[in-house]
Amino acid sequence: MIEVVDLTKSFPISRQQRRELAAQSAAPSKTAGRPGASATNLQAVAGATFRCRPGRVFALLGPNGAGKTTVLRMIATLLRPDGGRISIAGVDALADPVAARRRLGFLTGSTKLYERLTAEENVRYAADLHGVAAPDYKRRRDALFGALGIEAYAGRRAGQLSTGMKQKIAIARTVIHDPEVVVFDEATSGLDVIAARAIIQLIKDCRAQGKTVLFSTHIMSEVTMLADDLAVFHRGRVLAGGGLEEVLARAVDEHGQRRTLEDEFVRLIDAAEAELGEARP
Ligand SMILES: Nc1ncnc2c1ncn2[C@@H]1O[C@H](COP(=O)(O)OP(=O)(O)OP(=O)(O)O)[C@@H](O)[C@H]1O
């Protein structure tokens, strides 16, 4: 289970960022163009609340800059929120980040493997950091390397591997300690279809094992293919959410026709932007 309640985070912004945001918003440059933004701060996450349940896949769906990575990094205890609560498998992630990390696997698009270590050493190192016992390591390592088709590359240095292969090693490293909760931040971006499929399959396997899976994306097909639940995220807030079927069932146009997820997504974002435009001085 992942529970996120009223999460907030703002960043000090550079002059360059301020110029970009002012241009986007067509608002006076005194504001940074987002709710809660000031001349020097940008409210990246502005009161996010959602819950991801075990044995289900939850998609955080939002456009570029919505704040998805910031939320996920806070859940992964890599970034400290300004406010709010995060619970990971029953552990308060702010009070006890070490215990939360033990229950969590986090995968991003940038794999950051140790290039001079072999594929096996990278995975082993992560297992050692998590205190995985030798027999458990052997069993899980064999299962993962087999499932991901990386056995033949186990002894190769990570720096010599292709992007897709590196990502597969990173996947093995993410789940080698058998975490209850797995978080993927746009993990398929920039990958070829074969490598992307490996991640998609891993997400399905995690769900089948009863793990809680959270992934961020802006790709609708990934959501319809994988998600049980979703939250449409924009400007640091959840605009709409619930079970995928439920969200789609609510998405009906003025003629009573069902909208696609993409159409519903665009409608929600446009409505939020229009509301923001009206609220601006
Ligand atoms: N360390 C930081 N310092 C300043 N601003 C930041 C920082 N990290 C993120 N931001 C800003 O916060 C906002 C949300 O960024 P974030 O990366 O969380 O969005 P995202 O939804 O993951 O976007 P994308 O899909 O483009 O990766 C953006 O405007 C971004 O520029």
* Residue 108 clears pLDDT 90, i.e. is over it: no
Share of the chain above pLDDT 70, in %: 92
Query: Is the model's pLDDT at 31 over the cut of 60?
Result: no
Most trustworthy range by pLDDT among 106-110, 210-214, 222-226 = 210-214
Task: Specify whether the backbone of 55 is left (phi greater than 0), alpha (psi in -120 to 50) or beta.
Answer: left
User: Positive or negative, the Cα torsion across 277, 272, 3, 167?
Assistant: negative
Interatomic CA distance for residues 74 and 220, integer angstroms: 24
138 CA → ligand 1 middle, Å: 38
For ligand 1, is residue 68 a contact (CB within 6 Å)?
yes
Can you give the residue ranges of every domain in the chain? 55-80+95-103+179-279
The mean-pLDDT minimum among 33-47, 126-140, 210-224, 241-255 falls in 33-47
Q: Note the pLDDT tens digit of each residue in 123-163.
A: 999 999 999 999 999 999 999 998 888 999 999 999 999 88
CA atoms within 13 A on the CB side of 254: 1
pLDDT at 225 over 80: yes
Confidence (pLDDT) at 38: 57
For ligand 1, whether the C-beta of 11 sits within 6 Å is yes
Query: For residues 47-60, b (16+ Cβ closer than 10 Å) or e, as one string?
Result: bbebebeeebbbbb
pLDDT at 32 (0 to 100): 46
pLDDT in tens, 159-190: 999 888 888 899 899 999 999 999 998 877 76
- Does the beta carbon of 13 sit less than 6 angstroms from any atom of ligand 1? yes
Using alpha carbons, select from 108, 199, 115 the residue that is nearest to residue 161: 115
- State the CATH architecture for 55-80+95-103+179-279: 3-Layer(aba) Sandwich (3.40)
Atom of ligand 1 nearest to the CA of 17: 31
Q: How confident is the model at residue 27 (pLDDT cuts 50, 70, 90)?
A: very low
Measured CA to CA, the distance from residue 214 to residue 206 in angstroms comes to 11
Give pLDDT, residue 36: 52
State the ipTM, two decimals.
0.95
The CA 8 to ligand 1 mean position distance, Å, reads 13
Give residue 44 CA to ligand 1 midpoint distance, Å. Answer: 7
Judge contact between 8 and 47, C-beta under 8 A. Answer: yes
- The average pLDDT across 20-40 equals 57
Tell me which of 70, 219, 232 to substitute to probe ligand 1's pocket, judged by most ligand atoms within 8 Å of the beta carbon: 70
The 10s digit of each residue's pLDDT in 51-100 is 999 999 999 999 888 999 999 999 999 999 999 999 999 999 999 999 99
